[in-house]
Structure 1
Amino acid sequence: MDLKDQLKNLFPDHEPVNEPEKQEETTLWLQEEPMICKYEKRKGKPITIIEGYTGADSDYKQLAKEIKQMLSVGGSFKNNQIIIQGDFRDKIMKFLQDKGFKTKRVGG
Structure 2
Amino acid sequence: MPKDFSDVTGLPDDLGIGDDLARAEQHLTVRVESRRYGKPMTIVGGFDDGTVDLKDLASTLKRRLATGGTVEKDSRTIELQGDHADRLPDVLRDEGFQVA
TM-score by length of 2: 0.69
Corresponding residue number in structure 1 for 2:67: 73
Cα offset for 1:55? 3.9
Task: Report the residue type matching 1:41 in the other structure.
Answer: S
Gaps of 5+ in 2: 1-15
Corresponding residue number in structure 1 for 2:4: none
**Distance across 2 between alignment mates of 1:60 and 1:87:** 20
Alignment of 1:12-23 (within 5 A): none
Corresponding residue number in structure 1 for 2:13: none
State the number of aligned residues: 79
Gaps of 5+ in 1: 1-24
Cα offset for 1:32? 3.3
- Is contact 1:30–1:55 with CA below 8 Å preserved after alignment? no
Alignment match of 1:46 (pick from 40, 49, 64): 40
Measured against aligned partners, the alpha-carbon deviations of 1:84-104 in whole angstroms (never above 9, x if no partner) come to 000001211101111221112
Corresponding residue number in structure 2 for 1:82: 78
Q: Root-mean-square deviation (CA), in Å? A: 2.0
Alignment match of 1:96 (pick from 83, 88, 92): 92
**Distance across 2 between alignment mates of 1:50 and 1:89:** 10
**Residues 56 and 49 (structure 1 numbering): CA distance in 2 closer, same or farther, change over 3 Å?**
same
